[in-house]
């Protein structure tokens, strides 16, 4: 059944923060000419354009002390600070860079106070934070200083950028009930080998909407033989004939059935 496009609503907790924006089908600035580039594959571009891209709200990175940019603030987890043996196992440090325009200083955002709950309001939100378990020291959190709101029954599935690099950090997937959850979402990132530097605004993750009613799926396997089996073999033979006549058959058929999937990369027909 056709439905209207659903809307993500973002409630910023600080001014001038870099916010999510609709994902684009185009994943490269320059696209090579000729047939066969990935941007001509409709499943690729349709996936790339799902939901919204989440940019890094701050400049941060992971590197050796001598590689840190000027003005950066080094960070080490409390467990690593207390464990001299671990301190010698990895010379790299995480770092953050202040951004006064969005109230980010010393690895924390200053949030706008709410006089209705002044005694309870947290006032500050970290930029990066750490886990307190020794088996999770390869992970850390990137806090997003805004609250997500989605229509009733629609959850946010947080993923690594689809068909885009995550700037070297591994992004843990998470499903959040954003139609009621009233706190910022934290991205869980994994430390990669080597040095990584992330600029404010670099895309780090992607969020897509998922109906809560579709979380759980069942699996059915068609019998051989069965009417479905026979019908599907006939469709497969018909598909092979169409593909032989037109190597862009999938794109043509998908758009004729469901309407054109919008996106800058669709110009590469």
Among 33-37, 101-105, 111-115, 233-237, which is the least confidently predicted range?
Answer: 111-115
Residues with Cβ < 8 Å from 174, sequence gap 6 or more? Answer: 157, 158, 185, 188
Q: What is the pLDDT of residue 38?
A: 83
Q: What is the pLDDT of residue 135?
A: 84
Other CB atoms within 10 Å distance of the CB of residue 31: 16
Say whether pLDDT at 220 is over 90. Answer: yes
Class of domain 9-214: mainly beta
pLDDT digits (tens, 9 = 90+) for 63-83: 999 999 999 999 988 877 666
Considering Cα of 137, then 12, then 125, then 87, what sign does the dihedral take?
Answer: positive
Q: Where are the domains of the chain?
A: 9-214, 227-263
Question: Global pTM?
Answer: 0.87
Q: Given pLDDT bands bounded at 50, 70 and 90, which one contains residue 247?
A: confident
Distance CA 195, CA 62 (A): 5
Say whether pLDDT at 218 is over 50. Answer: yes
Is pLDDT larger for residue 91 or for residue 188?
Answer: 188
Say whether pLDDT at 2 is over 90. Answer: no
Question: Contact 77/130 with Cβ under 8 angstroms?
Answer: yes
Distance CA 204, CA 171 (A): 8
Q: Given pLDDT bands bounded at 50, 70 and 90, which one contains residue 6?
A: confident
Q: Given pLDDT bands bounded at 50, 70 and 90, which one contains residue 265?
A: very low
């Amino acid at each position: 059944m056709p439905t209207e496009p659903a809307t993500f609503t973002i409630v910023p907790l600080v001014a001038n923060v870099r916010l999510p924006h609709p994902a684009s089908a185009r994943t490269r600035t320059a696209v090579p000419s000729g047939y066969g580039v990935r941007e001509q594959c409709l499943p690729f571009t349709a996936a790339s354009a799902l939901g919204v891209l989440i940019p890094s709200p701050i400049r941060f990175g992971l590197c050796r002390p001598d590689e840190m940019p000027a003005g950066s603030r080094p960070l080490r987890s409390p467990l690593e600070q207390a464990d001299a043996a671990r301190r010698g196992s990895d010379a790299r440090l995480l770092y953050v860079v202040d951004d006064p325009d969005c109230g980010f200083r010393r690895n924390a955002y200053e949030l706008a106070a709410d006089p209705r709950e002044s005694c309870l309001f947290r006032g500050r939100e970290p930029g990066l934070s750490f886990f307190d378990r020794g088996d999770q020291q390869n992970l850390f959190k990137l806090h997003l200083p805004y609250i997500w709101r989605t229509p009733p029954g629609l959850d946010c599935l947080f993923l690594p950028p689809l068909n885009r690099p995550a700037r070297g950090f591994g992004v843990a997937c998470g499903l959040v009930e954003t139609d009621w959850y009233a706190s910022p979402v934290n991205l869980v990132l994994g430390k990669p080998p080597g040095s990584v530097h992330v600029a404010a605004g670099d895309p780090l993750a992607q969020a897509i909407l998922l109906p809560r009613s579709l979380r759980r799926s069942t699996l059915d396997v068609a019998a051989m033989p069965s009417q479905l089996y026979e019908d599907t073999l006939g469709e497969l033979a018909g598909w092979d004939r169409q593909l032989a006549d037109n190597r862009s058959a999938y794109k043509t058929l998908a758009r004729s059935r469901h309407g054109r999937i919008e996106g800058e990369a669709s110009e590469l027909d």
